[in-house]
Amino acid sequence: MMKKIIAVVFTLLTVSACAPEVGSEKWCKNMKEKPKGDWTVNEATDFAKHCVLK
């Protein structure tokens, strides 16, 4: 049972570490490639703040 819990925690930490930091060059590039219709309000605000108004 403990091995399964450790495996799940490790998997979650590994997956969550893969997302680029908001405002980074990689994040801006990913947002430019993502269809604008799929952006959330927060993503659009962060994009304008970090990628356009730099």
Answer for the pair 21, 27: CB distance below 8 angstroms, yes or no.
yes
Report yes or no on whether pTM surpasses 0.85: no
Flag whether 2 is in a domain. no
Q: Which domain holds residue 29?
A: 20-54
pLDDT at 47: 97
Residue 52 lies in a domain: yes
Q: Classify residue 43: in a domain, yes or no.
A: yes
- What is the number of structural domains in the chain? 1
- Chain centroid offset of residue 42 CA: 12
For residues 10 and 48, give the distance between their C-alpha atoms in angstroms, rounded to a whole number.
34
23-40 per-position pLDDT tens digit: 999 999 999 999 999 999
- Cα(39)–Cα(32) distance, rounded to whole angstroms? 10
Domain membership flag for residue 24: yes
> Is 10 a domain residue?
no
